[in-house]
Structure 1
Amino acid sequence: MSTEEGKTGHDVAVDGPEYVDRPQGWMYRSVRIFGSDLWYASPKVQLLMISLVCFLCPGMFNALSGLGGGGQVDATAQDHASVALYSTFAVVGFFAGTFANRLGLRLTLSIGGLGYCIYCASFLSYSHTENIGFVIFAGAFLGVCAGLLWTAQGAIMMSYPAENSKGRYISWFWVIFNLGAVIASLIPLAQNINKKAGPVTDGTYIAFMILMGAGAVLALLLVNADKVIREDNTKVILMKNPSWKSEFKGLWETLFQEPWILLLFPMFFSSNIFYTYQTNDMNGAHFTTRTRALNSLLYWLAQIIGAMVNGYCLDIHSIRRSVRAKAAFAFLVTLTFVIWGAGWDWQKQQVTREVTQSDEYQQDGLVDWTDGGQAYIGPMFLYFFYGFYDAIWQTCIYWYMGALSNSGRKAANLAGFYKGIQSAGAAVFWRLDGLKLPFDTIFGATWGCLAGSLLIAAPVLLFKIKDHVTIEEDLKFSDETIEDVIAGPTEKRIESEA
């Protein structure tokens, strides 16, 4: 083992003729020609990879769901499928951290990407056969797959970055992920540009299926967490010798050692419940087919803007992290009452669910973008800000969880708790919609859960977020040592940026 002066002027770690020096830039590192390319195992590249997987799988799913009713006129099939989806998601998601830690993140992601294509195919089948049983099965199967995928994704996003860049990493992921939904929303918008009523076209479903399939294959190209080395030359804290017993025990220890995490559970529960009202009871019930597609596009575009704004604000290094946590909490409270207060002002002026399901309303009562003025411009901006709010809520939760620990093992368990409880909340609210409760009732329950969960989580968000979590503290939840998580000289990478 020796060092040589590379062409870039940096000392480059080499091991005989296996090493070459590549050009400067974050995508290029001094790596072995035969062996693991360390630039590919960097947090940034792995974040890009998982972002593209979610771009193609959940991103397309979000665009499909954003149409309201899964692109169908009657939302019954999607309601039943969503109850099945989020019910299995809740169970699998809660324990998925154990599977991710035992099987490895790459294999967990690969398995998790399988269900999206089948789910989309079930709606294509439903358009021709009205086989609701297939749709419900596809929803349940997707819940199993999504529980694994999102837990592995959360572990990567929270544990791979260094502490001072977690907000940016979360925002980069959220931008790429939601860019999938933005682009996917252009597909039904283009294909249904002249369509004011009826389900979306077969071509819309087929396009989604192809893209989702590509995402499932792409998941196989990630590396496992033990190969990743951060910019500060540390590795992700895991378990050297994970077993099913050790990981189920770790699941319990995550709660037993820090029981105040339970105060975050209502916030987890509330983090997806608003999709039911927004996609089905607002967008799906009151707008024409093409206008629903446009609203969906604007919703996911707003997510990109919200994620970028919030992610970079959460990483303002001149302000202590504990102070940023308090500011983020105040911002969440403000948005919850401003945006949802405006939403209530709009909702109380709308017709009932029974009226929206009448043939007369479907023919003449739906709002189209050509209506303009108060009829469309106001709710268009409201729907946009619903998307902005979603991004702020989600990125804040991920950032708060990432601030609690830098351990990949603990992050996987937290992500599992988050996605499992989140899905339980979604299952409850999709079921409420399936029972055809009044729109006003579902709106009020949604707003009440959001506001109440912030109140319950306040002690954790305001007082438990530290300015720094030490390696020694994270190692209490692992069988690794400091030597295991500090990259050796043969693994040290050259960083060309601060």
Structure 2
Amino acid sequence: MVSNGDEESGTQVQLPETTTKNSPSPFFRYNSPLVQVILIGVICFCCPGMFNALSGMGGGGQVDHTASNNSLTALYTTFAIFGILGGGIYNILGPHLTLLAGCSSYVLYTSSFLYYNHHHHQAFVILAGALLGVGAGLLWAAQGAIMTSYPPTNRKGTYISIFWSIFNMGGVIGGLIPFILNYHRSEAASVNDGTYIGFMCFMSLGTLLSLAILPACKVVRDDGSRCTNMFYTDVSTECVEVLKLFSNWKVLLMVPAAWSSNCFYPYQFNDVNGALFNLRTRGLNSVFYWGAQMLGSVGIGYIMDFSFKRRRVRGMVGVIVVGVLGTVIWGGGLVNQLRYSSNDLPEKLDFEQSGSHFAGPFVLYFSFGLLDAMFQSLVYWVIGALADDSQILSRYSGFFKGIQSAGAAVAWQVDEHKVSFMSQLIVNWVLTTISYPLLFVLVMLAVKDQ
């Protein structure tokens, strides 16, 4: 191994090592990209995966959505800041401290709802939400760096789909927890303590697993290349590099996609799942919503890696496919929304008792999950195609999550202020539609063929 000092940047450069012909299979080699991506998938299965299941029930499992909406506004406000800063923090602290701090905040957030079940004081829930925003910014910056930079260049779509499938299995399992534990509870009740405790157990496991992630300089691909040539960075370097993102045309073209990619959660979770279905059915719907995400990520992963020989063509085709599917699904959402409003809610649907009336809204909610995974996996593939170095991609991913969280913070307050369901649907549809041509242009101009 040979090292060089880079006096101008203040970083130390490590030249890549080569592996021998008798290297272990990448499926069993701990420092392979595949094992590390699977590991970060399991960590996200335990932490944000369970968080998604909790949020997907509507109101964090509470009858009154006020505490949940306010906590999520606080969460995504701090997330917006620390998402943008997260890439730089990850480059300074490395994966262990970054992920450990991020994962532990999920446990605290869920414990605040356990407290709220007994005392109904919002302050702890809102504070925990703000702290989770800090932690989530760190976790997702680290996750973005790992998922987009560790895989080989020609298999990034496949590795993203592997991660997304494992991660969203957390939402599937997490959806089963409230469904089973609240099967016989009345619609007027919030979820029981055991639901929150079950979520906390998974999140605690994910926090411990975060210590098993390897830094990028120790991960070796099959061809012997490493995921980054840099040992470390410093605060001043990261501050400058993060500021440069705001004038980077490639990053700016992703802003509408980033802003819109979590904006629709309040509408889907509260105004579709929460408004149309009873308590136990919302848990069941969450299972299928996150299960649909697994299918969506596998489908788009195949398109992005195997549909055409040229990478740029695959990217453009992926944008077109997601754009067409998104138009169809949001059109179905419009048809469904014409049936009810926030001032004229229908009788709650139950999967056992509602018969054919249940099928249409259920399929729509399933389709929302499918589209979410395809849309976000597409954006991550585009980010991964813009560079190949862990430190650069951690900044890109952090910026994406920061803008995404700013959009979500606004969206949760929009829902809390009782903006009409129809208005929320139209805004979400328009925002996602705007992002497709911009992503198409970004792929066409910035993605290079292999």
Q: Same fold (TM over 0.5)?
A: yes
**Pick from 258, 261, 269: which aligns with 1:279?**
269
1:378-404 Cα shifts (integer Å, max 9, x gaps): 111111111000010010000011011
Determine if the alignment matches structure 1 residue 218 to structure 2 residue 209.
yes
What is aligned with 2:342? 353
Distance 1:377 1:82 in 2: 30
Does the CA contact (< 8 Å) of 1:93 and 1:417 recur in 2? yes
Aligned to 1:202: 193
Kept after mapping to 1: 8 A contact 2:19/2:222: no
Shift of 1:223: 1.4
Asked if the contact 1:266–1:457 (Cα under 8 Å) also holds between the matched residues in 2, the reply is no
Equivalent residue in structure 2 for 1:418, among 390, 395, 400: 400
Counterpart-to-counterpart distance in 2, 1:322 and 1:455: 15
- Using the alignment, how far apart are the partners of 1:188 and 1:218 within structure 2? 24
Q: Deviations over 1:93-150 (max 9, x none)?
A: 1111111111112221111111111111111111111011111001000000000000
Q: Partner of 1:335 in structure 2?
A: 325
Structure 1 CA distance for aligned equivalents of residues 168 and 240 of structure 2: 35
Do residues 375 (structure 1) and 357 (structure 2) align? yes
Cα separation, 1, equivalents of 2:102 and 2:406: 18
- Give distance in 2, aligned partners of 1:13 and 1:159: 22
Task: Map 1:163-242; keep pairs closer than 5 Å.
Answer: 163-197=153-187, 198-242=189-233
Match of 1:448 among 418, 422, 430: 430
Q: How far apart are residue 274 of structure 1 and its match?
A: 1.0
- 2:440 maps to 458
Corresponding residue number in structure 2 for 1:26: 26
The DSSP-based 3-state class of the residue aligned with 1:154 is helix
State the Cα deviation string for residues 152-199 of structure 1 (Å, max 9, x = none): 000000000111110110000000000111011111111112224121
Q: Assess, with a 3 A threshold, how the Cα gap between structure 1 residues 230 and 255 changes in structure 2: closer, same or farther.
A: farther
Shift in alpha-carbon separation, 1:373–1:160, aligned structure 2, 3 A: same
- Residues 229 and 235 of structure 1 are in contact (CA less than 8 Å); yes or no, is this contact kept in structure 2? yes
Deviations 1:339-396 (A, max 9, x none): 000110001111x32444xxxx7xxx21111234441011111111110000100100
Give the structure 2 partner of residue 439 of structure 1. Answer: 421
Q: Per-residue CA shift, 1:313-359, capped at 9, x if unaligned?
A: 21117521111011011112101210000110001111x32444xxx
Q: How many residues are aligned here?
A: 433
Matching residue's letter, 1:371: Q
The answer to whether the Cα contact below 8 Å between 2:71 and 2:129 also exists between their aligned partners in 1 is yes
Number of the residue aligned with 1:33 = none
Contact 2:316 2:440 in 1 (8 A): no
1:308 — aligned with what?
Answer: 298
3-state SS, counterpart of residue 369 of structure 1: coil
TM-score, normalising length: structure 2: 0.92
Which whole-Å CA distance do the structure 2 matches of 1:25 and 1:300 have between them? 31
Deviation by residue 1:414-469 (Cα, 9 ceiling, x = unmatched):
0111100000000000000111111111111111111122234332133322113x
Equivalent residue of 1:315, what SS? helix
2:236 is aligned to: 245
From the superposition, tell whether residues 251 and 238 of structure 1 become closer, same or farther in structure 2 (CA, over 3 Å).
farther
2:56 corresponding residue in structure 1: 66
The amino acid of 1:464's aligned partner reads A
* Paired residues for 1:46-125 under 5 Å: 46-125=36-115
Could you report, residue by residue, the CA deviation over 1:54-106 in whole angstroms, capped at 9, with x for unpaired residues? 01000100010111110011111110000000000001111111111111122
| CA distance in structure 2 between the partners assigned to 1:13 and 1:192 by the alignment | 55
- CA pair 74-239 structure 1, distance change in 2 beyond 3 A: same
Greater C-alpha Rg: 1
Q: Does 1:467 align with 2:449?
A: yes
Aligned mates of 1:12, 1:344 — CA distance in 2: 55
Q: Does 1:134 align with 2:121?
A: no
Q: Give the letter for the 1:247 counterpart.
A: E
Task: Could you tell me which runs of 5 or more consecutive residues in structure 1 were left unpaired when the two chains were aligned.
Answer: 2-10, 15-20, 29-38, 469-498
2-structure distance, mates of 1:443, 1:274: 8
Q: Report the AA paired with residue 151 of structure 2.
A: P
Q: Give the corresponding residue for 2:372.
A: 390
Task: Name the CA shift for 1:446/1:40 in 2 (closer, same or farther; >3 Å).
Answer: same
Corresponding residue to 1:320 among 284, 300, 310: 310
Using structure 1 for the length normalisation, give the TM-score: 0.84
Contact 2:158 2:302 (C-alpha < 8 Å) held by counterparts: yes
Percent identity over the alignment is: 43
Kept in 2, the 8 Å contact 1:238–1:409? The answer is no
Contact kept, 8 Å, 1:329 with 1:462, in 2: the verdict is no
Partner of 2:30: 40
Aligned-pair RMSD on alpha carbons? Answer: 1.9
**Segment of structure 1 superposing worse, 374-383 or 425-434:** 374-383
Paired residues of 2:250 and 2:446 also in contact (CA < 8 A): no
CA contact (8 A) 2:26 2:222 kept: no
CA contact (8 A) 2:49 2:169 kept: yes
Q: Report the residue type matching 1:149 in the other structure.
A: L
How much does 1:243 deviate?
1.1
Q: Give unmatched runs, 5+ long, in structure 2.
A: 2-17
8 Å contact kept, 2:217–2:231: no
**What's the offset of the Cα at 1:217?**
1.2
**SS at structure 2 position matched to 1:193:** coil
Shift, 1:12, TM fit = 8.7
Match status 1:405 vs 2:426: no
CA 1:355–1:238: 2 relative to 1, 3 Å: farther
Are the aligned partners of 1:187 and 1:204 in contact in 2 as well (CA < 8 Å)?
Answer: yes
